[in-house]
Chain A
Amino acid sequence: MRDLLAAVHALRERLGAIPQADERQLQDLKTEILGRKAGALTKILGELPALEPADRKAVGGAANALKRELEEAIAARERALAVAARTGGSVDLTMPGRPAWRGGLHLVTQVVDEICDIFREMGFTRAVGPEAETEWYNFGALNFPKDHPAIDAQDSFYLSPGVLLRTHTSPVQVRTMERYPPPIRVVSPGQCYRRDPFDPSHSPVFEQVEGLVVDEGVSFVDLKATLSAFARKCFGPHTATRFSPSYFPFTEPSADMQVTCSVCRGSGCPTCKQSGWIEILGSGMVHPAVLENCKIDSERYTGFAFGMGPHRIAMVRHGIPDIRLFFESDVRFLSQFTGRAAP
Chain B
Amino acid sequence: MAALLQNPDLQFVLWTLVKIVVILFGLLGVVSYLTFAERKIAGHMQARTGPNRVGPFGLIQPIADVLKLFFKEEFIPAGANKVIFHIAPMLAVIPALVSFSVIPIGPGFIVTDLNVGLLLFLAMSSIGVYAITLAGWSSNNKYALLGGLRSSAQMISYELAMGLSTVGVLLLAGSLSLVDIVHAQQKMWFVVQQPLAFVIFMITAFAETNRAPFDLPEAEAELVAGFHTEYSSMKWGLFFLGEYANMITISSIAVTLFLGGWNGPWLPDSLKFLWYFAKLGALIFFFMWVRWTFPRLRYDQLMHLGWKVLLPLALLNVVVTGCSLYWVLNR
Do the two shown chains form a genuine complex with each other? no
Binding site for A on B (CB under 8 A): none
